Structure 1
């Protein structure tokens, strides 16, 4: 599994956890979604950085006990 696939898997797991544990926060997230740039090479450093930043935002929404 490459970096992109690993990060996407983690993001999916965190998103599901957020939906289950904090449904109100999840609803707000869906109302104002942040999108990950799709006009970049998916293996580029900028794309990987965007995935990492999004993962960190999900962790922050879930709270410190999930880090």
Structure 2
């Protein structure tokens, strides 16, 4: 079971609505290493930054039209 928990393919699944990654049995995964945690943080920062850029672009367009 331990090896299964550390399999990276099981850490990102569509059933993450509750915000915690689970394996296929629905057991919560512990972050097994710092590298994966850093990677997910970097990914989240990238996504949030892209979202903010899009939002600010939209706000500029709206401001220009008014």
In the superposition, the TM-score normalised over structure 2's length comes to 0.33
Highest RCO, 1 vs 2 (Cα 8 Å, sep ≥ 6)? 1
Structure with greater helix share of residues: 1
Rg (Cα) greater in structure = 2
